[in-house]
Amino acid sequence: MIELRDVSKVYKIGEERVRALDHANLHVYPHEFVSIIGPSGSGKSTLMNIIGCLDTADDGQYLLDGTPIDDYSENELAQIRSRKIGFVFQSFNLIAKLSAEENVELPLIYQRVRKGERSRRVKEALERVGLENRAKHLPTELSGGQQQRVAIARALVTRPSLILADEPTGNLDSHTSSEILGIFKELHEQGNTIVLITHDNDIARQAKRIVHILDGRLTEVTG
Amino acid sequence: MLSLKMALRSIGANKMRAGLTMLGIIIGVLALVVLVSLVNSTTDSITSEVSSLGSSLLTVMVQDDHGAPVSLDDIQKWIDDEPSIAAISPFASDNAKGKYQRNNEDFTVYGVTGDYCAINGQKLVQGRYINLADLNNNSRVCVLDETAAKDLIGFTDCVGEEISLEGVKFKVIGVIKAEDSIASFFTSSLNAYIPYTSLVRLSTDTGTDLTTLYVGPADGYTVAQAEEALKTMLLERFDNDEDAFRLSSVNIIEEAMNKVNSALTVLLGSIAAISLIVGGIGIMNIMLVTVTERTREIGIRKAIGASHGTILVQFLIEAVMLCMMGCGLGIFFSWAILQIVSIITIDTSLSFHLQANVVMWSVLFCFLIGVIFGLYPANKAAKMKPIDALHYGG
């Protein structure tokens, strides 16, 4: 599913070169629930950007579903993101002007899915996160937990190969956090591949497999 | 359709700002449509008045007589021979000092024949017009128009008075109705008509060879038919040289009016175009602000699969839509203003209305401005990297 082979990424900050990823190797198999844990500045975000095809590696090889992600143009990356990856962000990142329903619909519009099919899938996704009766609400009219559930529905709706969650509970209280994690577990049980990035050990422990990241290097933690 | 809805909603989310931005376009369109419509409507009604005066007028200018100059006898023969031609008058003019007792006035003296009166639709109010005998005897007689009679002599009932033109005494034999005000608009001097042969003697510039002819078609014949017959005749006379003469059937005044009209239209149109461009810059400005404000939104959209083109089109549609809404409002206000002007000027012969081609042009222009000034901000939005955009402002 995901295969990182000696992936490196170097940022230049002024004169200094910061190695955000240092020959990182990672293998995620289909239907796995992996959490990647590391303190801030450990290269988590860079790893997530590369896995999420928001950025490309300087060195090494990244295979997503067997396809090497390498030297793609902006537009090709957008295509891959659109079809293979569902993002869930820490700050929900819903579009404030659009209702819950429309936010979920957006990725399908970008995939040019037809109207009838769209509304069917949007309804299905919202039901899955238990928000079918909040469909017409704007994000500002929803609680944090509900907003995050809309974001999860938006990630789900394209039936991606991979759901990539970046600190999905970072902005939520512990009660809502466990609710959201419950949804992720359910999704995993239904056969989705999930990569969860966090700095919180308790949250990381919810996953079947934990990978540690520190100074751009990955180490497997078996729990 | 969906992108239209999205654009509408973004515009609607910030109505005050959208309204102020559109104001530039609204004023630009207003200026363009109202000014050009006013000019066109005014000149339209003037031109239609002018053309009612005598566009059944044919003029011939002889440029190269091939050794066979046209004489007064020739034109008489043409009138007799050609059924479609009823009247031909030579035409020449010169400036002269007019004097009556102690009054001095500047005159334009026209050398014509009796036919000139009918061809140009002059209306005799006193006395008689120039006749064949006057022409044959080089008589020192003249016909004045009412304005000339009033200004020089002091009264219009002046048949039989004697005036002098360039020191030569002329007897007033007739008075015609003053030419329509449009004609006098172009010249400030007074008009006197004398036999062509007399002008030849009076003016050193005028010779016996006729170079300018006014031709009036006969009843039952169109101007075009007369023109055709005349052309055949002239070609025969001048060895089939098309460049020897020029035939025109367009009213000179009408032509001049058209020139004035198009010059004014271009002038006012460009002024309005400048204000539209200024409006377009306003749109670009606001779109740049919008793009920066919505950096995060762009990042989200890109992360969930929007391509370069999708974002570009989204912002471009927004800019074009702002422009078109401004354009629509501008046209509506122009219509309202023209309606009000029409009501105010209802007593005059002028009628003001929205002109379809001006509306079409302004719509087209607004669309172009939307595209041109929307492209840069839209491209800026589309080129944003999703990671940079996502991390913007938090």
Cα–Cα distance measured from residue B60 to residue B53, given in angstroms and rounded to the nearest whole number: 19
Question: In DSSP terms, which residues pair with B94 in a beta bridge?
Answer: B109
Q: Which of A54, A74, A109 is closest, CB to CB, to B308?
A: A74
Q: Is the confidence at residue B184, as pLDDT, over 70?
A: no
pLDDT of residue B179: 65
Q: What are phi and psi of A137, to 5 degrees?
A: -80, 150
pLDDT of residue A71: 72
pLDDT of residue B252: 58
Q: Which of B297, B304, B309 is closest, CB to CB, to A107?
A: B304
Cβ separation of B387 and A95 shorter than 8 Å? no
pLDDT of residue B349: 65
List the single best residue of B298, B304, B391 to mutate versus A (max A Cβ within 10 A).
B304
Q: Is the confidence at residue B258, as pLDDT, over 80?
A: no
Q: Which of B199, B222, B198, B286 is nearest to B84 (CA)?
A: B222
Cα–Cα distance measured from residue B9 to residue B62, given in angstroms and rounded to the nearest whole number: 70
Rg (CA), chain B: 33
Per the listing, tokens 């790893």 go with A47
Cβ separation of A74 and B10 shorter than 8 Å? no
pLDDT of residue B365: 92
Average pLDDT in the B281-302 region?
92
Q: Which of B297, B305, B309 is closest, CB to CB, to A111?
A: B305
Q: Is the confidence at residue A153, as pLDDT, over 60?
A: yes
Lowest mean pLDDT among B206-215, B237-246, B247-256, B383-392: B247-256
Cα–Cα distance measured from residue B347 to residue B266, given in angstroms and rounded to the nearest whole number: 29
Cβ separation of A93 and B296 shorter than 8 Å? yes
Q: Which CATH number fits domain A2-221: 3.40.50.300, 3.10.20.30, 3.20.20.70, 3.10.580.10?
A: 3.40.50.300
Average pLDDT in the B283-292 region?
92
Name chain A contacts of B304, Cβ cutoff 8 Å.
Answer: 81-82, 87, 106-107, 110, 154
Cβ separation of A95 and B2 shorter than 8 Å? no
Instruction: Mention every residue, 6+ apart, whose C-beta is less than 8 A from residue A28.
Output: A1, A2, A3, A34, A162, A193, A195
Q: Say yes or no: A214 contacts chain B, CB-CB below 8 A.
A: no
Per the listing, tokens 């929007």 go with B306
| Shortest CA gap B380–chain A (Å) | 14
Least CA distance to B300: which residue of chain A? A93
Q: Give the residue with greater pLDDT, B326 vs B242.
A: B326
Q: Is the confidence at residue B90, as pLDDT, over 60?
A: yes
Name chain A contacts of B300, Cβ cutoff 8 Å.
Answer: 93-95
Q: Say yes or no: A201 contacts chain B, CB-CB below 8 A.
A: no
Percent of chain A past pLDDT 90, that is, above it, reads: 43
Per the listing, tokens 């909603």 go with B9
Q: What are phi and psi of A205, to 5 degrees?
A: -65, -15
Give the tens place of pLDDT for each residue, B139-150.
899 999 888 888
Name chain A contacts of B302, Cβ cutoff 8 Å.
Answer: 78, 81
Least CA distance to A91: which residue of chain B? B394
pLDDT of residue B51: 57
Name chain A contacts of B307, Cβ cutoff 8 Å.
Answer: 74-75, 78-79, 110
pTM: 0.67
Give the tens place of pLDDT for each residue, B27-86.
999 988 888 888 888 777 776 666 555 556 788 888 887 878 888 888 888 888 888 888
List the single best residue of A109, A118, A140, A166 to mutate versus B (max B Cβ within 10 A).
A109
Q: Which pLDDT band holds residue B330 (cuts at 50, 70, 90)?
A: very high
Cβ separation of B304 and A52 shorter than 8 Å? no
Cα–Cα distance measured from residue B303 to residue A123, given in angstroms and rounded to the nearest whole number: 22
Provide the H-helix boundaries in chain B. Answer: 2-13, 15-54, 72-81, 115-119, 132-136, 146-148, 181-186, 196-202, 223-237, 252-293, 295-303, 308-344, 356-383, 386-390
Q: Which of B304, B309, B394 is closest, CB to CB, to A91?
A: B394
Is residue A162 a contact partner of residue A195, using CB atoms and an 8 Å limit? yes
Name chain A contacts of B387, Cβ cutoff 8 Å.
Answer: 49, 54-55
Q: Which pLDDT band holds residue A222 (cuts at 50, 70, 90)?
A: low
pLDDT of residue B52: 57
In this structure, what DSSP letter does residue B152 have?
Answer: I
CA contacts within 13 A on the Cβ side of B263: 6
Per the prediction, chain A carries an average pLDDT of: 89
In this structure, what DSSP letter does residue B342 have?
Answer: H
Give the tens place of pLDDT for each residue, B114-127.
888 888 778 888 89
Q: Is the confidence at residue B1, as pLDDT, over 90?
A: no
Cβ separation of B387 and A82 shorter than 8 Å? no
| Shortest CA gap A46–chain B (Å) | 10
Is residue A94 a contact partner of residue A156, using CB atoms and an 8 Å limit? no
Interface of B with A (CB under 8 A): 2, 9-10, 13, 296-297, 299-310, 385-387, 390, 394
Give the tens place of pLDDT for each residue, B4-26.
888 888 888 888 989 998 998 99
State the SS3 of chain A: CEEEEEEEEEEEECCEEEEEEEEEEEEECCCCEEEEECCCCCCHHHHHHHHCCCCCCCEEEEEECCEECCCCCHHHHHHHHHHHEEEECCCCCCCCCCCHHHHHHHHHHHCCCCHHHHHHHHHHHHHHCCCHHHCCCCHHHCCHHHHHHHHHHHHHCCCCCEEEEECCCCCCCHHHHHHHHHHHHHHHHCCCEEEEEECCHHHHCCCCEEEEEECCEEEEECC
Q: What are phi and psi of B126, to 5 degrees?
A: -140, 145
Give the tens place of pLDDT for each residue, A3-32.
999 999 888 878 888 888 888 899 999 999
In this structure, what DSSP letter does residue B177 have?
Answer: P
Average pLDDT in the A70-84 region?
84
DSSP B235-272: HHHTTT-GGGEEEE-S-HHHHHHHHHHHHHHHHHHHHH
What is the residue type of A84?
K
| Shortest CA gap A58–chain B (Å) | 16
Q: Say yes or no: A18 contacts chain B, CB-CB below 8 A.
A: no
Give domain limits for chain B.
2-50+255-390, 56-249
Give the tens place of pLDDT for each residue, B339-379.
888 888 877 766 777 888 889 989 999 999 999 999 999 99
Cβ separation of A75 and B387 shorter than 8 Å? no
Give domain limits for chain A.
2-221
Question: In DSSP terms, which residues pair with A63 in a beta bridge?
Answer: A3, A68
Q: Give the residue with greater pLDDT, B370 vs B238.
A: B370
Average pLDDT in the B195-213 region?
86
Average pLDDT in the A93-122 region?
92
Burial of B197 (0-12, 13-18, 19+ CB in 10 A): buried
Q: Give the residue with greater pLDDT, B237 vs B373.
A: B373
pLDDT of residue B394: 45
